[in-house]
Structure 1
Amino acid sequence: MESWKVNLISVWFGCFFTGLAISQILPFLPLYVSQLGVSSHEALSMWSGLTFSVTFLVSAIVSPMWGSLADRKGRKLMLLRASLGMAIAILLQAFVTNVWQLFLLRALMGLTSGYIPNAMALVASQVPRDRSGWAISTLSTAQISGVIGGPLMGGFLADHVGLRAVFLITAVLLVISFLVTLFLIKEGARPSVSKAERLSGKAVFASLPYPWLMISLFITTMVIQLCNGSVGPILALFIQSMAPESTNIAFLSGMIAAVPGVSALMSAPRLGKLGDRIGTGRILMATLIVAVVLFFAMSFVTTPFQLGVLRFLLGFADGAMLPAVQTLLIKYSSDRVTGRIFGYNQSFMYLGNVAGPLMGAAVSAMAGFRWVFAATAVVVLLNIIQLAWAMRRRRQQEARTRASKRL
């Protein structure tokens, strides 16, 4: 088997364990905060929000630095750093005695981020360019699978072995990810780039053929994460408002929250392969348009079943969006700066993770639950307009370049 295929399979399992480990803690984080002595509703809400968001905020700040280091020192080293660092940070969270300790360890966990973007960059640098869409989409199914299975596994373990034990089990999963990376992943020789020789942020963008398109794709990444997260804070409450007599709101909410991941798993590799054939940009624009239509439709639903069906359909588009962005980032950047580009993209992804829930909570408080879906649709629509402009500008530049070569 070709070495890039072996790496793709190995990294898939590493990303799966990483996604599983991170997501299985999140559902019961507020319960853990309350166990640490935070009792009032206001303080519990504040500390739950802070301990959740600080990881993403720190990650957004340090991701470009890790991307730069990956370009100089190699991506396997970054994978080992991220998996072992997260394992240690999560292991220590099992032994905290107050909420400040948990907050600081969650911030430390943000410093150790970067496994999945570095895995994407490693695969991107080795896979044949004509198969990059399929490879990146296949790799994205690992994280999706982990994010689907994590909350279910975390909830089951929390009920049966206790909250602190889940942190220990999560740390073990990340050690497995570390061992898979250490023994199975092979990275070819990389050109040596000293710290003095590395490009500045300005020079990175100057080296790109279409820098404005890269920035447009970064914004698209942020919007994709924003629209995924905006519904989170109000989903259970919205379902409860549509079915006030229901006795299993938590189960319904969990199902409706997870269902897009199931359809995303089905669509990601197929749409990635289709993008290799007809153009990744077309797939990205089509899925964003579908998302706008579905979010607008969600604002009119009257039953949880209708919402579940629309979110299932959204998953088909969702499975292709981020892989399409990442494939385009690979296409329009050189191997020398891929790590930096993926680091910048990861920062925008984390910013979307923070902005989405904040926007959802604010719109819900001001205008009601249904307006959250409408507001999300408007944000995605504005993003489609700016992305279409950037792609049109790229096509015009390509046409001018071809014309000048003929002359």
Structure 2
Amino acid sequence: MTSQENWKRNLYILMGSQFLVMSAMTMIIPFLPLYLQELGVTDQDAVSVWSGLIFAANFVTAFIFAPIWGKLADKYGRKAMILRSGFGMAIVLTLTGFATGPWTLLLLRLLNGMISGFIPAAIGLMSMSTPKKHMGYSLGMLQAGAVAGSISGPLIGGIMADLMGFRMIFYFTGGSILIAALVVLMFVKERFDPVEQNVKTSTIEDFRTITAIKPIMALYVVFFIVQAALIGINPLLSIFVQELSPTQNVAFFAGLAMSVMGFANMMASPVLGRFSDRKGHQYVLLFSMLFIALVSFPQAFVTSYWQLLVLRFLLGLGLGGLLPMINSLLRNNAPEGMESRTYGFSNSFMYLGSMIGPAVGGGFAGIFGIRSLFIFSGVLLLVNVWIVYRKVLPRLRKPRKKDAHATLMENTNQQKQKG
């Protein structure tokens, strides 16, 4: 099999695997508060508090451990990290079906975040095996697979919970992730050549080395703001839908508003990815960011649910040009031998945005009202446009200098030869 056929086969297999993983991970979203009630938490205020803690727990440990898994991926390979995460999450999610109370559930969610990393490792593997001229298309297709899973998961989970009960869903999701891990084990091929490192470095030293390459820190900040600005709206979207359509099925229409954005994202990601391979990832990122910023503001002034739905669809189209482009630019600028660590830190920024966004958004909406949240989100995204224009584009127009990691390794080898 040629190298071109190999990367394409890996792409399609990992797309399918990401669909299984994301659908499994999001199946529990519709009924987690109800599962807490089954575990004995009956007071509504207590259910709300526990639900928030349990949702956040996964992000907290994922934020801490993402750079560690990235470092191990650079040492042992990205496929090894996919398998570690896949088999680990399969076990933890299955055990979640045996939870005996809220504390057990909280600990299992913390553990799940600690061992997560299937999708970042898959992105790392594809970014290393895909020819650079196809990078945007490849990562766009991966994004489409993940988004399709995140759209399908809540729907499938809600239906299965009614038919099978809550605990059975965890057994099903564990089995789904196990299948994805087994498929990767048997069919995904990785040619991994670890870069020899004579100097042992700490996580902080790795971060300094990676962010010494100027566009990377700016891209991390962009990633963080995107997550904070967009995820911060999601918890309150159902309340806004209720304000627009008080007599309709609020849960269904709120879900539809989220799903339509996901469908648009899934449609646009491969198309914008292929376009970026021809025109430049940075330019697609810039104009996509500007587009979603401009689409965010009108949402604050809608007078009907259907106006909101159209704007959410347009927002999803723009999102298709963000994450694949950021990941492509990170791959192209990462220090040699530190690619997975570069992605590990980017995922920590993503998780940080996912934690901070809802908390800040809830406080902002509490003071100024829900509609102001869309204005706030638009302003944050315009800040991102400025960062990409001033901090990313000028650096990418210039020829890249030797990165800090390569310089460190060269100096170390020279000293070793002199010794």
TM-score (norm 2): 0.91
* 1:319-345 per-position Cα deviation (integer Å, ceiling 9, x unaligned): 121000000001111441110000000
Cα distance between partner residues in 1 of 2:272 and 2:125: 21
Contact 1:260 1:312 in 2 (8 A): yes
* 1:11 aligned onto 2:9: no
Paired residues for 1:1-400 under 5 Å: 2-191=5-194, 193=196, 197-201=199-203, 204=206, 211-246=213-248, 248-394=249-395, 398=399
Query: Residue 41 of structure 2: SS of its match in structure 1?
Result: coil
Shift of residue 366, structure 1, vs aligned partner:
1.0
Shift of residue 286, structure 1, vs aligned partner:
0.6
Contact 1:230 1:359 in 2 (8 A): yes
Any unmatched runs of 5+ in structure 1? Answer: 402-407
Contact 2:211 2:217 in 1 (8 A): no
* 1:213-235 per-position Cα deviation (integer Å, ceiling 9, x unaligned): 10111111112222231111111
Residue 413 of structure 2 corresponds to which residue in structure 1? Answer: none
Contact 2:17 2:183 in 1 (8 A): yes
Cα distance between partner residues in 1 of 2:166 and 2:94: 12
Cα distance between partner residues in 1 of 2:25 and 2:81: 18
Cα distance between partner residues in 1 of 2:310 and 2:398: 42
Residue 417 of structure 2 corresponds to which residue in structure 1? Answer: none
Cα distance between partner residues in 2 of 1:193 and 1:51: 40
Amino acid at match of 2:376: A
- The size of the alignment, in residue pairs, is 399
Contact 2:82 2:118 in 1 (8 A): yes
Cα distance between partner residues in 1 of 2:282 and 2:338: 21
Residue 404 of structure 1 corresponds to which residue in structure 2? Answer: none
Amino acid at match of 2:18: C
Cα distance between partner residues in 1 of 2:331 and 2:285: 15
Question: 1:386/1:244 Cα in 2 relative to 1: closer, same or farther (>3 Å)?
Answer: same
Contact 1:213 1:390 in 2 (8 A): yes
Cα distance between partner residues in 1 of 2:108 and 2:180: 20
Amino acid at match of 2:168: A
Shift of residue 309, structure 1, vs aligned partner:
0.5
Amino acid at match of 1:227: A
Question: 1:5/1:392 Cα in 2 relative to 1: closer, same or farther (>3 Å)?
Answer: closer
- What is the aligned-residue RMSD (CA, Å)? 1.9
Query: Residue 320 of structure 1: SS of its match in structure 2?
Result: coil
Identity over the aligned pairs, expressed in percent?
35
Amino acid at match of 1:142: G
Cα distance between partner residues in 2 of 1:269 and 1:143: 12
Query: Residue 190 of structure 1: SS of its match in structure 2?
Result: coil
TM-score (norm 1): 0.94
* 1:127-179 per-position Cα deviation (integer Å, ceiling 9, x unaligned): 11111111111111111010000000000001111111110100010110111
